[in-house]
Every structure is written in structure tokens, then in C-alpha cells.
Amino acid sequence: MSKEKAATEKKQILVGDGTWFVQQPSGESYLVGNKCKVCKKTFFPKRGVCPNCQKDGTLEDVRLSTKGKLGVFAVPQVAAVGFKAPYIIGYVDLPEVTGIFSPIVGFEPREDAIKKGTEVELQIGKIAEDEQGNDIIGYQFGPVKGKKGK
């Protein structure tokens, strides 16, 4: 939690309107995707209609695994709004869904500091600030707890 600004004027903005993840007071957090009952494919972010089956009512919410592997990533030297450059942005493959686009934290923001296939774990929390200084709460992936980031 950042204490740089008066907490009273800060708002928390939830990525995906709060429907993309669950953050429990106990600390347990996970992403919510949806899975097609017909073709068994899982999606994140959630889809309105399964792109394979194209029928209503085949999708149901599912809890996604919190650990996965880093896929292709980049280290932008110019920051997107709310981010501090350099930072890492990449695709994470979970057992259920591949290619989840996410900020990657807890590693040195250098191309040679991490590699494809590095194990990463979900973190829910502040990922950025918007132009008004509001906290943007969303998902990101970092080193697996109990392991050193390499």
C-alpha cells in the first residue's frame, strides 16, 4: 500500500470491474475465468460467448490456478500510463489458460534477468496509478513464494 498521498482522496479502481479476480481477506486470491461446458476450453479474460461453440449458456465461471510459467515477455523502456519504466510485461501460461497478458514483478527489469519458462505466481494488488493518482487494483505475476526470483 502506498502512503505517499492522502488516503482519503484515493479511490481503488478494479481491473475488469472486479469480475476478473477474487481477493479474499484471508489473503487467498485467484483469477476467475470461464470454461465452456461443451468444448471444455477455458478463457481469461472471461468471454460472453464461447468463440468455438458460438452458443449462449455454455460458459461457467471457474477458478484458475495461481502458478504458471512465463511465456514471451518484453521490457519496455518507455512507460505506459501509471507504470514506471523499465518494467516487465509478458504472457503467462497457466495450466487452464495460456497467454494471459500481465505485468511481471519482483524480477530485475532486464531482458537477461528472467527467461521464458520461469515459474511465476499470481499477486492481486495495486498494479499502477491512473492520472488522478487512484490505485488501480489488478493482477500481476511475480516469483513463486518461497523461491528466489532469478
CA distance 141 to 69: 10
Least Cα distance to 102 among 111, 92, 110, 94 occurs for 92
Cβ proximity to Zn ion, 3 vs 40, nearer residue: 40
DSSP state, residue 26: T
Q: Which segment (36-44, 61-69, 70-78, 112-120) binds Zn ion by CB under 5 A?
A: 36-44
CA distance 145 to 90: 19
- CB closer to Zn ion out of 29 and 52: 52
Q: Minimum CB separation from Zn ion for residue 45, in Å?
A: 16
Q: Is 29 in the site for Zn ion (CB under 5 A)?
A: no
Residues 86-145 that bind Zn ion (CB under 5 A): none
CB atoms within 10 A of CB 35: 21
Distance CA 26, CA 40 (A): 30
d(CA 63, CA 89): 23
Instruction: Indicate the residue among 40 and 148 with the shorter CB distance to Zn ion.
Output: 40
Which residue in this structure is represented by grid cell 515477455?
Answer: 73
Contact region for Zn ion (CB under 5 A) — 23-31, 38-46, 69-77, 95-103? 38-46
Residue placing its CB nearer to Zn ion in the complex, 38 or 85: 38
Looking at residues 46 to 85 of the shown chain, list those that interact with Zn ion (rule: CB under 5 A): 50, 52-53
Residues in touch with Zn ion (CB under 5 A) = 36, 38-39, 50, 52-53
